Amino acid sequence: MSTPTTLFEKVWTDHVVVEETMATPAVLYIDLHIVHEVTTPQAFSVLRSQGLPVRRPDLTLATLDHSTPTTPVSTFKDLLVAGEGAANQVRQMEQNCEDFGLDLLGFGSGSRGIVHVIGPELGATQPGKTIVCGDSHSSTHGAFGALAFGIGTTEVGHVLATQCLLQRKPKTLAINVDGALPPGVTAKDLILAVIGKIGVDGGTGHVIEYRGDAIRALDMEARMTICNMSIEGGARAGMIAPDDTTIEYLQGRPRVPQGAEWEAGVARWQGLRTDDGARFDKSVTINASKLTPMVTFGTNPGMVVGIDEPVPDATDASFRKALDYMQVEPGKPMTEAAVDIVFVGSCTNGRLSDIEEAARVLEGRKIAPGVRMLVVPGSEQVKAAAEARGLDKVIIAAGAEWREAGCSMCIGMNGDIAQPGQLSVSTSNRNFEGRQGIGARTVLASPATAAASAVAGHVADPRSYA
């Protein structure tokens, strides 16, 4: 009998072109490369200067998301809303795609959107694939049992030119989530709790596999939210073994194989799981049934508390600096913090179910006076699907803004930012100093918590708005 192996090891082994040795890393084949306007210009310049083509345009998915306005775009002038640098970057991406023969999912294509939203939605993300993108939240695609991780621009150039990367094999970390999430507690709350437990560097050097009953019970969009934030625990990738939920989600999507190839794919995917007795380098267990809605209080995603718990006391200078920046007091719950701006969107929580979750809270209510709320769909498809359900009307009637697809306030590159000192409740993934604008104070939360906070005017428990 062969040695039991983990899901990660199975996918890794299947993509090794040249084995690693002491002297050299492995050459790893990449099945899907997603590219966007911000982390690729310098890579295309290298290809140009060396006279190299893109080796596999058919395995490359190109879109525009990071520095695009969330107001409608049809002319260059519309792009300038996001600033001249951003507008030029978009134009250069369009040119690069044309010059290198890449099919760009651009404005009005109906398929444009955040890199990690469109991959799954088009069915390009599939179990067992290796997937990379010049964005650290590439870990999202691991929700399908793919090995997916973020890379730098030099590596973007490597994949464009050779469809391969030089990689050392990472270690493995099992995160077992037992029990069931209580009503009103979501995948976002769960992953924030996980990061709070392992710390922002707990996964460094590791690939996480999320396992256990609470994970199996999640739908695909919730699984994507979980895997998305693996990088916030320091891990480059997070994976969940594919099952019937995965296959059901993928069936009929435009880029999945058809007919006999689909059948073969399904058969192969069903074998993609960790064998009994396989060893992980580390493992952590969490009980989901004890969790409450979670919010961050500091300046990294590991500084997190339950919505009704007090903010802990500072333990060192870095912690104190974070509390000072956030203007929060230890000993008090975050529900006392007044809210200026609320953002629902991003590759963490910008899919249809997230917008539905926010709309359920907003339905028949108004956001508090003085609060601004932006709801930004993760893709043009998400936007269309939400509008088909009338969610845009609910959102607008509540006094929030319904925008065009993009990264928006997750990274604040397109002019969608919070003002200095403002408190933002955000469904994105990073509460770093200045992430959402100079001096902006970010509280990470689920879409339900974000919407409840917009209505209340302070950080609020969504369970009171069910």
Partner 1 sequence: MNPVTTIRSRTVALPTRDIDTDQIIAARFLTTTSKDGLGKNAFFDLRYNKDGSLNEDFVLNRPAAEGCRILVAGNNFGCGSSREHAPWALLDYGFEAVISTEIADIFRSNSLKNGLVAIVVDVETHRWLLDNPGAEITIDVESTTITLPDGSAIEFAMDGFARHCLLEGIDQLGFLSKQQERIEMFEEARSWKP
One DSSP character per residue, 108-165 reads TSS--B-HHHHHHHHT---TT-EEEESSGGGGGGGGGT-EEEE--HHHHHHHHHHSEE
Could you tell me which residues come within 8 angstroms of residue 54 by beta carbon, excluding any fewer than 6 positions away? 47, 60, 100, 101, 102, 160, 161
Among positions 420-459, residues that touch partner 1 (CB under 8 A) are 420, 430, 432-435, 438-439
128 to 167: interface string for ligand SF4, x by CB under 6 A: -------x-x------------------------------
CB of 318 to partner 1, least distance (A): 5
Query: Nearer Cβ to partner 1, position 38 or 214?
Result: 38
CA distances from 56 to 32, 164, 391, 418 (A): 9, 11, 39, 40
Q: Does 187 bind ligand SF4 (CB under 6 A)?
A: no
Written as one letter, the residue type at 26 is A
Q: Which of residues 24 and 289 has its CB atom nearest to partner 1 in the complex?
A: 24
**Binders of partner 1 in range 184-223 (CB under 8 A):** 200-201, 204-205
The one among 26, 47, 79, 114 contacting ligand SF4 by CB under 6 A: 114
48: partner contacted, choices ligand SF4, partner 1, none (Cβ within 5-8 A by kind): none
Minimum CB separation of residue 125 from ligand SF4 in Å reads: 14
CA 423 to CA 150: how far, in whole Å?
29
Interaction partner, residue 114 (ligand SF4, partner 1, none; CB < 5-8 Å by kind):
ligand SF4
- Residue 56 · residue 83 · CB < 8 Å: no
Rg of the chain in Å (alpha carbons) = 21
Q: Please, which residue, 381 or 429, has the CB nearer to ligand SF4?
A: 429
**Shortest reach from residue 465's CB to ligand SF4, in Å:** 25
- Shortest gap between Cβ of 113 and ligand SF4 (angstroms)? 10
Q: Which of 141, 188, 236, 351 binds partner 1 (CB under 8 A)?
A: 236
Strands (E), 324-366: 341-344
Pairing state between β 104-105 and 401-402: unpaired
Q: Judged by CB, which is closer to partner 1: 201, or 336?
A: 201
Question: Closest CB to partner 1 among 265 and 462?
Answer: 265
| Contact between 327 and partner 1 per CB under 8 A | no
**Number of residues engaging ligand SF4 in binding (CB under 6 A):** 14
Q: Is 310 helix (H, G, I), strand (E, B) or coil?
A: strand
Query: How many Å apart are CA 131 and CA 148, to the nearest integer?
Result: 4
Question: What does 200 bind: partner 1, ligand SF4, none (CB cut-off 5 to 8 Å by kind)?
Answer: partner 1
CA-closest candidate to residue 446, choices 316, 348, 305: 348
Q: Nearer Cβ to partner 1, position 9 or 135?
A: 135
Rule CB under 8 A: say whether 41 interacts with partner 1.
yes
Q: For ligand SF4, which is the closer residue by CB, 225 or 346? A: 346
- Residue 135 as a binder of partner 1 (CB under 8 A): the answer is yes
**Among 447, 421, 249, 443, which residue's Cα sits nearest to residue 346?**
447
Q: Which of residues 218-247 bind ligand SF4 (CB under 6 A)?
A: none
Total of chain residues touching partner 1, rule CB under 8 A: 72
**129 or 141: whose CB is closer to ligand SF4?**
141
Q: How many whole angstroms separate alpha carbon 118 and alpha carbon 124?
A: 8
Q: Are 272 and 241 in contact (CB under 8 A)?
A: yes
**Using CA of residue 225, residue 226, residue 227, residue 233, what is the dihedral sign?**
positive
Largest CA distance in the chain: 66
Residues numbered 392-411 forming contacts with ligand SF4, rule: CB under 6 A: 407, 410-411
Express the helix, strand and coil content of the chain in percent, nearest 5 each.
Answer: 40, 20, 45
Which residues, 6+ apart, have CB-to-CB distance to 93 below 8 Å? 36, 37, 40, 41, 62, 64, 104
Q: Residue 202 Cβ, how far from partner 1 at the closest point, in Å?
A: 10
Residue 165 CA to residue 157 CA, distance in Å, equals 10
Name which position in 89, 167, 172, 346 contacts ligand SF4 (CB under 6 A). 346
Among 164, 173, 347, 405, binds partner 1 (CB under 8 A): 164
| Interaction site with ligand SF4 (CB under 6 A) | 65-66, 114-116, 135, 137, 346-347, 407, 410-411, 428-429
